[in-house]
Amino acid sequence: MLKESQIMKIHYMTGIAALFVVAVHILMRLVMPYNLSLEYDNVILNYHNLPYAVLLESILVLIAIHGFNGLRIILLEMRQSRGWEGFVTVVTIAAMMGVIAYGTRTIIVANGLSLG
């Protein structure tokens, strides 16, 4: 079981790392006119680029960890009891894993479209 101080270090590190990868993700929308960057072919091309797909996966994991841990902290600030803490921890970890799994599926399938 991690200590809260260790969890906060992870929270800060994922937050700072997310800043950099999200900046690259946003820049990819600005290297060409915004509307053009959202066209299906251009977006699929992004997903076919392996380094960019890895970047998307890292954004997914970093923000899911940072976001759901932030939600856990907020919920624990509102109410404190052993049962509530356990419940909030289990629900936020399950939600985090669910979002990561769903997003990873999108990245894998969209990346795999190039093979077809």
SS3 80: coil
| Cα-based distances in Å from 12 to 78, 99, 101, 105, 110 | 21, 20, 23, 27, 31
From the list 4, 6, 12, 94, which residue makes contact with other proteins (rule: CB under 8 A)? 12
Q: Which of 24, 91, 93, 110 binds other proteins (CB under 8 A)?
A: 110
Q: Residues 55-74 vs other proteins: string with x where CB under 8 A? A: -----x--xx--xx-xx--x
Picking from 111, 98, 113, the residue whose alpha carbon sits closest to that of residue 56 is: 111
DSSP code of residue 114 = G
Contact positions vs other proteins (CB under 8 A) = 8, 12, 15-16, 19, 22, 30, 33-35, 38, 40, 43-44, 47, 60, 63-64, 67-68, 70-71, 74, 77-79, 99, 102-103, 105-106, 109-110
